[in-house]
Structure 1
Amino acid sequence: MLLLAENLRFLRNELNASQQSVADALLITRGRYSKYEDGASDPPIDILLKISRYYKVSVDLLISIDLRKYKLEELLKLSDNRILLPIKTDSKGENKIEVVPFKASMGYLVGYSDPDYIENLQTISLPFLNHGKYRAFPVEGDSMPPYKDGNFIIGQYIESLSDLKVGKTYIFITREGITYKRLEDQSSSKIQVSADNKFYQSYEIAKENLLEIWEFRCSIATDEFDRNSSELDNETIIRMFNEIKSDLSKLTS
């Protein structure tokens, strides 16, 4: 909880507040609050929640992110999950598109909120993408044709779950991994997603497991289009599969 102590000192100094004024707002003594800032003791959950509300910074950020690395007024958050979005800019202050590499894609789950990790990602620029924050993610598997291994999906950062649209495709960053799927439905506690490849069943993701969401904006193919492989497309495979099922049904009847 040493990071919490550093964050408490930083936030209080940003507000130009005294320890006494913060303690009064929390309904505790100044001596007790000073121990939290010094790292001499950890606040219990009820006090930690009060601290979070006082500074308007979520508990997960207070204890897991070094807030000194950010300008508070420029923090971007996924409001429903309260996750920081580090942003890389060029010398002109313009956003760069970070590329998450295939081999390090799982590392993104650890480093997505770490500005040092984001700083080390390679970047690209696309002049037709502006007015938003974009990032490129690798595609793996065959669940979302025509995108396949070697492709990258460039997504625009979604700040709130209320901005999600049924029928649109998104890169969902969850505690289990990175997945590119189409949104089918959502409720107060979960979303339902599906693959465009109908061989894969739709499934649900609990909103509490969502870390980031990026809406599809464009894609990059790193392999040449294979005309021969396209002749056996997804619809053709499904049709063949249904015909086989029909033939088997006739044989067993």
Structure 2
Amino acid sequence: MENLNKNLKHLRLRKRLSQGRLSNRIGIGTSSISAYEKKRSVPKITTLMKYSKFFKRNLDELVNEDISKLDQEKTQDTKGDKLRVLPILVDAQNEEMISLVPVKAAAGYLNGYSDAEFISELPNFRMPFAELSENKTYRAFQIEGDSMLPIPSGAYIICEYVQDWELIKDNSCCIVLTDDDGIVYKRVKKDFQNNQLLLNSDNPEYLSFEVSLNQVLEVWKSLGFVSFTLPEPAGNNKK
């Protein structure tokens, strides 16, 4: 168990979580988390299971491996030269449709993103906008939460598929699908030297966090959004 304390700290910091915020997320006391990371105490198996489920790491990795080294050694194909399965739908004219992933389908998308049958069951449509090329693949994702204000919760983000992650412009807004966090909408900064992406929120109340490239499944560049929440007029103070 020589790496356990280092692994627990590494996983927490990689998500940019304080000990207090992690405590709230997994139901373990802050003092206990501190003790585990400083090797003053060894977590029970039930506690390790909470860590394992939250960080999506198996118990063998948590206890026996050096996860920080594993994350660095596993290199990801950033250019997309290797085959990535991307199911698409076409209409009767053989023109590609845009698949919509609503919030209620977000959990299922993590498991079904490469499943043609799952994609076919999503709402699929076309958008007659000149800004959308016939030679590219688009998808729409509904977001929830206020981490990217002023874009409101419930907005639909219209995205273009990114095959070559090296083309991602730093600080551009993207939908990122990851093993750990599912669908997230953030500003992305590349850190390929450390085999990771840095994800930032526009709402300053939310901390930035890193994701290992080995956890990234898809990246979609944001082009625009559709919202049915209309903004209030500027200076509209009700009396």
TM-score over 0.5 (shorter chain): yes
> For structure 1, which runs of at least 5 residues remain unmatched after alignment?
1-76, 232-253
What's the RMSD between the two structures over aligned residues?
A: 2.3
1:4-43 residue pairs with structure 2 within 5 A? none
Measure, in 2, the Cα distance between the counterparts of 1:115 and 1:229: 48
Cα offset for 1:212? 0.4
Do 2:168 and 2:190's aligned partners in 1 also have CA atoms closer than 8 Å?
no
Do 2:160 and 2:222's aligned partners in 1 also have CA atoms closer than 8 Å?
yes
Aligned residues: 155
- Which SS does the other structure have where 1:104 is aligned? helix
- Residue in 2 that maps onto 1:126: 127
- Which SS does the other structure have where 1:103 is aligned? helix
> For structure 2, which runs of at least 5 residues remain unmatched after alignment?
1-77
Do 1:144 and 1:197's aligned partners in 2 also have CA atoms closer than 8 Å?
yes
Measure, in 2, the Cα distance between the counterparts of 1:100 and 1:147: 17
Q: Deviations over 1:46-100 (max 9, x none)?
A: xxxxxxxxxxxxxxxxxxxxxxxxxxxxxxx982774300011111111111111
Do 1:78 and 1:84's aligned partners in 2 also have CA atoms closer than 8 Å?
no
Cα offset for 1:111? 0.6
- Which SS does the other structure have where 1:106 is aligned? helix
Do 1:139 and 1:149's aligned partners in 2 also have CA atoms closer than 8 Å?
yes
- Which SS does the other structure have where 1:107 is aligned? helix
Measure, in 1, the Cα distance between the counterparts of 2:83 and 2:185: 21
1:139-150 residue pairs with structure 2 within 5 A? 139-150=143-154
With the length of structure 2 as denominator, give the TM-score of the two structures.
0.60
1:82-93 residue pairs with structure 2 within 5 A? 82-93=83-94
- Residue in 1 that maps onto 2:161: 157
Do 2:152 and 2:229's aligned partners in 1 also have CA atoms closer than 8 Å?
no
- In structure 1, give the amino acid aligned to 2:96: N
Do 2:160 and 2:221's aligned partners in 1 also have CA atoms closer than 8 Å?
yes
Give % identity: 34
C-alpha change, 1:172 and 1:229, in structure 2 (3 Å) is farther
Alignment partner of 1:191 out of 187, 193, 197: 197
Point out 4+ residue stretches in structure 1 off by more than 6 angstroms.
228-231
Instruction: Tell me whether 1:203 sits opposite 2:217 in the alignment.
Output: no
More helix by share: 1
Measure, in 2, the Cα distance between the counterparts of 1:160 and 1:138: 23
Structure with bigger RCO (C-alpha 8 Å, 6+ apart): 2
C-alpha change, 1:116 and 1:198, in structure 2 (3 Å) is same
- Which SS does the other structure have where 1:179 is aligned? strand
C-alpha change, 1:93 and 1:146, in structure 2 (3 Å) is same
- Residue in 2 that maps onto 1:179: 184
Do 2:175 and 2:183's aligned partners in 1 also have CA atoms closer than 8 Å?
yes
